[in-house]
A and B are shown apart, each in its own frame.
Chain A
Amino acid sequence: MKAVIDNLRREAVRLLANDEVKMVIGYGEGTDASRTTPYFASTPEQSAAFTWGPLCANNLAKHLLDYRYEDTRLAVVVKGCDSRGINRLLQDLQFPRERLVVLGVPCGGQLDRNLIAPEIPPGARLQGIEDTGKVYVLVTDKGRLSFPKDRFLMPKCYLCETNMPVVADFMAGDPVPSPAREGSDRTAEVNEIEALDVAARSSFWDNEFSRCLRCNACRNVCPACSCKECVFEQAVPGWQQSGIIGSKANSLPENMVFHLVRMFHVIGRCVDCGECERVCPVDIPLRLLYRKTLKDAHILYGAGTPGMSTEVQSPLSEFSPEDPEEFM
């Protein structure tokens, strides 16, 4: 892990010193031992603060959108799942390839902050992280904390599709084993919900959506949500909002419209990075919703997970005479 961090820092220093990029977006030390924070270095000196490890859940690809209308070249650190987001942004022409340097990191799985935070002694300061293969060890000033990978990773990691970036100009480390569980079925949870009858399914989602705070975190963190102006915020004065999709009123119908519209908008673009589910403050299982669309797109159009390559078009962006059209 230390070697990867050193490689990353060296490459960031090189890119900034040679003026190859204006800024490097990576991970920096968090404010407690259970997390990191997005970190932006604009000088070689600042690059010394970059870190990497199993506390780097954030998908940094989204931050590129803040600079899409500038003319500066940027570098961004990505894991396997995040890298699909890079490909999608490139495919949607949201960021030009020539202005982008992708720094790939090999990911052995990300620790679930909800699971590890309660195990960390109060006030412990993180000094380093070791990867023993089956266990991540957080070395702190209050002792070594062992987190076996088979219990403490984020649920999405056990279903990991690509733990190595699918696009990278520079790799900061050698391949590491995927955290995916052998024989894991990415559609299992979707199948469970599909097996319910309509009333039970409806009540399942009613219950989840009724809790939504409409904080927009799922949308704002999502690399597929790249619209300059979201449909939910189109210039409609507040006093005319009724009848237009989405007001700020929090009610089950409004919340459902928000989530279902967002779901339809990200079909073929959701890269299944799981950021929506990570950030939701009220634990709505959003990834389950988008997984359903991934499954359907696969059945209907043979589509794989978006962003696996820039060669394959999104199924809804391309017409083929063979497309199913049972509704015609």
Chain B
Amino acid sequence: MITRDQLATLLDRLVEKNKVIAPVSDNRGVVRYTAIRTAGDVAWEFDRAKVPPKSHFLPQTEELYCYDTTGGELRIEPVPAAGRAVVFGVHPCDLRAIAALDPVFDGVFKDVYYLDKRERTVVVGLACKQVLPGCFCRSYGIEPTDGEGADLMLTEVGDRYYAEILTPKGEALVREFPELFSDGGVEEGRRGKEALSRELAGQFQREVDLTGVKEKVDTMFEHPYWQEVARKCIGCGICTYLCPTCHCFDIIENHSGHRGSRLRCWDSCMFTDFTLHTSSHNPRSTKKERVRNRFLHKLSYHNERYGLAGCVGCGRCVAECPVNIDITKIIADIKEVD
């Protein structure tokens, strides 16, 4: 168990030697995972961060290396390795999303940038205290108190947090600051967590039945349904940029004179130029192909490649889509259409 004050002390102590990323609310109340300077920066009462914590492991813009060609000679300067980091306050859907990203960057191609940060980062999960209208993680088998994917999982119970050590990294973190954690009241904490879990389970407004959805959607590539959905779509990147499992990127050069760097930037399959070939041919030339691709990726491709769901039910796209394209409705429709 750990009290709020001790947790704040823990974050303050961690800041001394680590980059600590936590939900921070800005002047307009937009919550994002941002590096904090003190525990005072943390938005303790946040419900769901607008941008998921994937931005720590896969930053929107990331320098891969720098180069210098002064004097006609090419010198490449690798970007320094990531330092120790702690991501604090990750909700169960986002924890599961990180697990869904891991095989993408740790497959045939080992992505050193992602894996380096993943290796040196301790993930501290935080159970949800409420279910938002867009949330449907439960349909993906995630309870809003689940710690799967966290190194250390915290659940607020009364005026303290019930802390579960789930990995050696989590254990090392607790061992580093034994004076901040206590064994007293652990049983009460466990029961409190169970009660919270039961309470939250009854708060879901959105539930989808995924039975047979992958099989059905796999037969729907040419279905006119996609045209119907695509008519609404304005082709912005909100759903992909706010999605905790979307991970597409583009590589660009940023150079000036003899110096420059190579950057990796988030890209979105909703953008017209995402699949644009240099020949000017575009295999996904209309919104129909782009919208279809997004939903096939979420509901089929990711599953096919990694055996993991491509959606975790965080509800961000449901909440933010300007035209109310709602993946829970898409799933229900897929089951319905002929």
| A contacts, CB < 8 Å to B | 30-32, 34-38, 40, 58, 62-63, 66, 117, 120, 122-123, 207, 211, 213-217, 219-221, 233, 235, 237-243, 247-251, 275, 278-279, 281-283
Q: Determine how close the nearest CB of chain A comes to the CB of B286; give it in whole angstroms.
A: 9
CA distance A215 to B51 in the complex (A): 12
Q: Determine how close the nearest CB of chain B comes to the CB of A275; give it in whole angstroms.
A: 8
Q: Give the contacts of B244-292 with A (CB-CB under 8 A).
A: 250-256, 260, 263, 265-268, 271-273, 276, 278, 280, 287
| B contacts, CB < 8 Å to A | 26-30, 32, 50-51, 60-61, 131, 133, 203, 205, 228, 231-232, 234-238, 241-242, 250-256, 260, 263, 265-268, 271-273, 276, 278, 280, 287, 318, 320, 322-326, 328-329
Contact B250–A40 (Cβ < 8 Å) = no
Contact B232–A37 (Cβ < 8 Å) = yes
Q: A62-B234, A215-B238, A250-B265 given as contacts; is B203 within 8 A of A122 (CB)?
A: yes
Q: A122-B205, A249-B265 given as contacts; is B236 within 8 A of A220 (CB)?
A: yes
A-B interface pairs (CB < 8 A), number: 131
Which residue in chain B gives the minimum CB-CB distance to A39? B232
CA distance A58 to B133 in the complex (A): 21
Contact B254–A249 (Cβ < 8 Å) = yes
Contact A63–B133 (Cβ < 8 Å) = no
- Other contacts beyond A31-B328, A38-B323, A120-B133: 5, CB < 8 A: A62-B234, A63-B231, A211-B28, A241-B252, A248-B267
Contact A247–B254 (Cβ < 8 Å) = yes
Q: A58-B322, A242-B253 given as contacts; is B133 within 8 A of A117 (CB)?
A: yes
Most buried by A among B51, B133, B254, B268: B133
Contact A233–B265 (Cβ < 8 Å) = no
CA distance A283 to B228 in the complex (A): 29
Contact A31–B318 (Cβ < 8 Å) = yes
Q: Determine how close the nearest CB of chain A comes to the CB of B113; give it in whole angstroms.
A: 15
Q: Which residues of A contact B32 (CB under 8 A)?
A: 211
Q: A122-B205, A215-B238 given as contacts; is B133 within 8 A of A248 (CB)?
A: no
Q: Which residues of B contact A58 (CB under 8 A)?
A: 322-323
CA distance A35 to B242 in the complex (A): 20
Contact A37–B322 (Cβ < 8 Å) = no
Which residue in chain A gives the minimum CB-CB distance to B326? A31
CA distance A32 to B319 in the complex (A): 10
CA distance A222 to B37 in the complex (A): 38
CA distance A207 to B50 in the complex (A): 17
Q: Which residues of B contact A235 (CB under 8 A)?
A: 276, 280
Contact B322–A217 (Cβ < 8 Å) = yes
CA distance A279 to B203 in the complex (A): 27
Q: Which residues of B contact A233 (CB under 8 A)?
A: 271-273
